[in-house]
Chains A and B, each alone.
Chain A
Amino acid sequence: MGLPEIWFGVIVAAWVLFFVLEGFDFGVGMIAGLARRPLHERDAAVRTIAPTWDGNEVWLVGAIGLMFAIFPEWYASVLSSLYLPMVLILLALAARGVALEFRGKYHGEGEERWKSRCDTVMALASLLVVALWGAVVAVLARGLAINQEGEVVGSSWTRSIDPLLTWQAAAGAAGGVLTALLVGALFLSLRTTGPLRNWARGLAFRVGGVVTAGALVAAALTTEPVVALIAVPALLATVAAHLGREGLAFTGGALTIALATVLGLAWHAPTLLPSTLDPAWSVTMDGAITSDFSLGVISWAALFIMPAVLIYQAFSYWVFRRRITSERVVTA
């Protein structure tokens, strides 16, 4: 195993961190906007993710940046071939981030209406983002109709949408939404107190059951037994949520997403992006790798920087480790 393989692993790890960390942010976002919980509970829910979501989203910047740096061909092929879905993801991410950040900065008359609007935008954007990412990961595992230049073929404007119109992509989208909802509910049950905590735990139990069953169905449909493995951590999360073991349940939820991400991205390794037209046109690790010099620069930089990033991000989670109360305190 050489540097290219190690770096492929690091990039997959960066995607895993993004999907797990932002997974619960999106899940909490969906819950806050769509579950019709009272305002003080929505406030508490948003408070659980507000200090750290930005740091979590940076893992997307990291993952994409590293793809560009290590396998420029992979970066270029994936983004240009999935042009419109990617643009839609970016627009939804923009709406989500701004709604989340702006919702608490408006005080005085009309504050409640403002927050409700922000919550709705945040929820719908979160839903769109996880559905699209789920579909994209499924599509990447399936392969794209890319030509010799690494670009998806076709001259109509639907060129980059067509790959998403398959049942695998639909299943990926459903999987994305459900797993995000699962970790979102588990995160809330871990970080809040009172009625919201209990309600979130119950939601996690129900969603966890659906995710477990869904993984088994997906394994049967794809006739790939390895997909059934995803059901294991999902089941763990479901059972642990029922037993009130919140830490264990959250670990199970995170592992579910991690496993699905690794399977999706590394399905064809060492091929990075298979061409469904001609295997010779597939983007491979060896073909897409950057020059030795660049690889050296980025490797040395990462060796020093990455551990520091992980340490200070862990520090920020430690600082905000206390539970957030969702109980309405009546003042005399």
Chain B
Amino acid sequence: MDVTDLARLQFAVTTVYHYLFVPLSMSLSLLTAGFHTAWLRTRHEHLKQVTVLCGQLLLITFAVGVVTGLVQEFQFGLSWSSFARFYGDVFGPTLAIEGMLAFFLEATFLGLWFFGWDRLPRGVHLATIWIVAIGTQLSAFIILSANSFMQNPIGYSIDAETGRAELNDFSTLLFNKLNLAAYPHAATGALMTGGALLLAVSVWNQLRRPSSIGSDRAAVRVMGRVGAWVMVVAGAGTAITGDRLGVVITEVQPMKMAAAEALYSTTTGAPFSLFSYAGPGEAEPSIKIDIPGLLSFLATHNFHGTVQGINDLQAQYVQQYGDGNYVPWVPVAFWSFRLMIGVGMTAAALAALYLLVTRKDRDLPAFLHTPRLRPVAVLVPVVIGLMPLAANAIGWIFTETARQPWLAFGLFKTGDGVSSGLTAAEVVISLVGFTLVYGVLAVVWVRLLCRLVRSGPGAEHAGHGGDHGDDHADGHGDPHASSPDPGAADRLALTY
């Protein structure tokens, strides 16, 4: 592998990793805000327990999201400085405004919410978590506008003297029609991850602790039901927005959709292929299972629409941009596209099944608790929790790999973007460093998540700040709060 390949691998590893925590933060902040509001309206104790558990999950997730996001912000300068110089004028303001407008909001107000239970009036306190939720959405929208520029560059001109891209219309950049289609898709996809986590926590508790569920039953149940509803509704939203996004991509990046479909020749009334296999050395797949007309419908909303094929697009791009290979890695595009849809929709279907099974106050069927089945059944929530996360990650792999060989489509090639002085040894060292540290972070995050989950949504882990040694104006407040080993109940220092 040369420097460019290594730098790409590093970007891919760090981005996919970062994007495990971003959609979780986006959805958990909304869910926490929702539960908090519901609790204040109804005053049901179990809703407070769920609010606190959701908030804990949000906080540990957000922490990893922040530190890995920082790596992303630096990386354009570290390994891609030629690209940073080329489009810094376009991307810089976008990134800076995201930081100033959204990121400051999220970080500051999450601290205020988490530690502000007994220090803020309840209306203000509730507002802080909503501000976090809005901040995460805003953050995602602005960052996605920068990504949309790389997929569909608009709102810029090329400086004749320096050859660099210069911004000339910020609102065009922000409201790129690709972004208007991509953001709703990313947002609904993100919502599914949070819903799935709640559902997984709930199912896990129901399977693992059926006898001790008594006092927590209401909390466990509301988590599962709300999580499943969020997954079903957001799943439908993901499908609708994905359909819309597909049409826009076909329009602005026809090669990406052609690769996703492994469609080599331009076809009218193109079929959607469920399976495709090309033997070694074959340009065209030898084994295919197709649904007639469906691809044309997905791409153009017309069963007889014309979809451009890879070979024709390649010929067209050679004319347009000069000699070169403009075909992305087709098997990756083809399979990631199908996996994304398959995994995401299966998760939504499982959530719908859960809603059906537990309707009218029913518990999970008894056969799941049989000694033979239980060890297997306990794996179900783990799989449910991971599915939407996997679908999100695979979706990004599709979006980014099927854009190649371009960094900014039609404008700047990936091979030209890497820092000119960078050596392969440097990237290997940093790649090993990121992999090791991120690996340890993942293990610790999962361990902590499991501990929070295992204790259930009860009062056990619901300490408001976590660290006792609480503050007191006069130094002798509630003696329990700063005792060396406070009991479980003492940690629930949530006062209004």
Contact = CB atoms under 8 A, between A and B. Distances in A.
A330 B69 CA distance: 43
Contact of B475 (A77, A155, A193, A313): A193
B362 interface: no
A135 interface: no
B289 interface: no
A156 B423 contact: yes
Interface stretch (A49-57, A177-185, A252-260): A49-57
A60 B71 CA distance: 11
Given A52-B111, A293-B168, A298 B96 contact: yes
A151 B421 contact: yes
B101 interface: yes
Contacts of A301: 93, 96-97, 100-101
Contact of B85 (A76, A107, A298): A76
A100 B467 CA distance: 10
Contact of A331 (B66, B112, B448, B479): B479
A294 B63 contact: no
Interface in A31-61: 39-41, 43-44, 46-47, 50-55, 57-58, 60-61
Interface string B440-475: 010011001001100100001101011111111101
A52 to B, nearest CB: 6
A143 interface: no
With a 10 A CB-CB cut-off, give which of B78, B96, B470, B488 has the most chain A CB atoms: B96
A291 B89 contact: yes
Interface string A73-89: 10111111101101110
B110 A54 contact: yes
Interface in A92-150: 93-95, 97-98, 100-108, 147, 149-150
Contacts of B467: 43-44, 46-47, 50, 103-104
Interface stretch (B201-209, B248-256, B278-286, B424-432): B424-432
Given A46-B467, A79-B81, A91-B437, A325 B472 contact: yes
Interface string B59-83: 1101110111111011011110110
A51 B67 CA distance: 16
Contacts of B438: 94
A101 B96 contact: no
Interface string B472-493: 1101110110111000100100
A105 B464 CA distance: 10
B74 A90 contact: yes
A26 B471 CA distance: 21
B63 A97 contact: yes
Nearest to A194: B475
Given A47-B470, A291-B166, A305 B100 contact: yes
A116 B421 CA distance: 42
A93 B441 CA distance: 12
A241 interface: no
Interface string B94-116: 01111111011101111110111
A151 B70 contact: no
B88 interface: yes
B92 interface: yes
Contacts of B379: none
Interface residues of A, number: 95
B210 interface: no
A93 B69 CA distance: 11
B465 A50 contact: yes
Given A54-B110, A94-B67, A320-B119, A325 B469 contact: yes
A6 interface: no
A253 to B, nearest CB: 22
Interface residues of B, number: 96
B170 interface: yes
Nearest to B468: A43
Contacts of A243: none
Contact of A40 (B67, B97, B422, B469): B469
Contacts of A91: 433-434, 437
A84 B420 contact: no
A69 B166 CA distance: 12
A62 interface: yes
Given A80-B81, A323-B473, A47 B104 contact: no
Contacts of B111: 50-55, 316
A90 B445 CA distance: 18
B56 interface: yes
A3 to B, nearest CB: 13
A96 B110 CA distance: 18
B319 to A, nearest CB: 31
A267 B6 CA distance: 36
B426 A160 contact: yes
Contact of A305 (B81, B91, B101, B477): B101
Contact of A319 (B79, B112, B476, B484): B112
A91 B434 CA distance: 7
A153 B421 contact: yes
A167 interface: no
A70 interface: yes
B353 to A, nearest CB: 32
A232 B476 CA distance: 38
Given A52-B111, A84-B426, A156-B423, 7 more contacts: A53-B111, A79-B74, A104-B466, A193-B475, A294-B93, A322-B471, A325-B471
The 3 A-B residue pairs with the shortest CB-CB distance in the complex, in nearest-first order: A72-B88, A104-B466, A79-B77
Interface of B: 56, 59-60, 62-64, 66-71, 73-74, 76-79, 81-82, 84-85, 88-93, 95-101, 103-105, 107-112, 114-116, 119-120, 159, 166-168, 170, 419-423, 425-426, 429-430, 433-434, 437-438, 441, 444-445, 448, 451-452, 455, 460-461, 463, 465-473, 475-477, 479-480, 482-484, 488, 491
28 contacts: A43-B469, A44-B469, A51-B465, A54-B66, A57-B66, A57-B70, A65-B92, A72-B84, A73-B88, A78-B77, A79-B78, A87-B434, A91-B433, A107-B491, A154-B421, A155-B423, A290-B88, A291-B167, A294-B167, A297-B93, A297-B170, A301-B101, A302-B96, A302-B100, A312-B104, A316-B109, A324-B469, A325-B471
